[in-house]
Structure 1
Amino acid sequence: MSPRTVDKAARRKEILTAAVRVFARKGFAATRIDDIAAEAGIAKGSVYLYYDSRDALLEAAFEGYRTMSAAIFDRALNGRGPALERLAEMVREVLGVLTARREPARIMVDLWAASRDAEGSLVDMAAVYGDARAVITELLRQAAKEGVLREGLDERHATVIVGTIEGCLLQCLVDPGLPAAELAEPIIQIFLEGLRRPAA
Structure 2
Amino acid sequence: MPKIVDRAARQEEILDAAAKVFARKGFAASRIEDVAAEAGIAKGSVYLYFESRNALLTGVFDSYAAKAAQVLTELGAGSPLERLSRLIRATLELLAAHPDHARVLLDVWASNPPIDMAGMYREYRGAIADLLTEAAADGALRPGIGAPHAAVIVGAIEGCLVQALVDPALSLRDLTEPVLQLCVEGIRT
Relative to the length of structure 1, the TM-score reads 0.88
Instruction: State the match for 2:55 in structure 1.
Output: 56
Deviation at 1:192, TM superposition (A): 2.2
Distance 2:68 2:94 in 1: 10
Gap change, CA 1:11 and 1:192, over 3 Å in 2: closer
Tell me by how many angstroms 1:179 deviates.
Answer: 2.2
**Structure 1 residue 170 corresponds to structure 2 residue 156:** no
Q: What is residue 99 of structure 1 aligned with on the other side?
A: 96
Q: How does 1:18-57 map to 2 (within 5 A)?
A: 18-57=17-56
SS at match of 2:74: helix
Q: Which amino acid aligns with 2:19?
A: V
Distance 1:192 1:178 in 2: 22
Written as runs of structure 1 = structure 2, the 5 A alignment for 1:57-76 is: 57-76=56-75
Aligned to 1:85: 82
Separation in structure 2 between the aligned mates of residue 129 and residue 38 of structure 1, nearest angstrom: 33
Structure 2: gaps spanning 5 or more residues: none
Residue 150 of structure 1 deviates from its aligned partner by 2.1
What letter matches 2:111 in structure 1?
A: A
**Aligned residues: CA RMSD:** 1.5
How big is the shift at 1:149?
Answer: 1.4
Q: Distance in 1 between matches of 2:6 and 2:88?
A: 36
- Is the contact made by 2:136 and 2:146 (CA closer than 8 Å) also made in structure 1? no
TM-score (norm 2): 0.93
* Distance across 2 between alignment mates of 1:38 and 1:131: 35
- Percent of residue pairs bearing the same amino acid type: 52
Displacement of 1:102 in angstroms is 0.4
2:111 corresponds in structure 1 to: 114
Query: Between Structure 1 and Structure 2, which shows a larger proportion of helix residues?
Result: 1
- Tell me the secondary structure at the aligned position of residue 50 of structure 1: coil
Whether 1:133 aligns to 2:125 is yes
Q: Secondary structure, in 3 states, of the residue corresponding to 1:114? A: coil
Question: After TM superposition, which residue ranges in structure 1, 4 or more long, deviate above 3 angstroms?
Answer: none
SS at match of 2:139: coil
1:187 aligns with 2:179: yes
**Aligned pair in 2 of structure 1 residues 191, 9: CA closer, same or farther (>3 Å)?**
closer
Residue identity matched to 1:26: K
Is 1:17 matched with 2:9?
no
Q: Distance in 1 between matches of 2:152 and 2:10?
A: 40
Q: Give distance in 2, aligned partners of 1:61 and 1:174.
A: 21
* Superposition pairs of residues 144-163 of structure 1, within 5 angstroms: 144-163=136-155
**Structure 1 residues without counterparts, runs of 5 or longer:** 116-120
Give the counterpart letter for 1:62 in structure 2.
F
1:108: Cα distance to partner? 0.6
Amino acid at match of 1:27: G
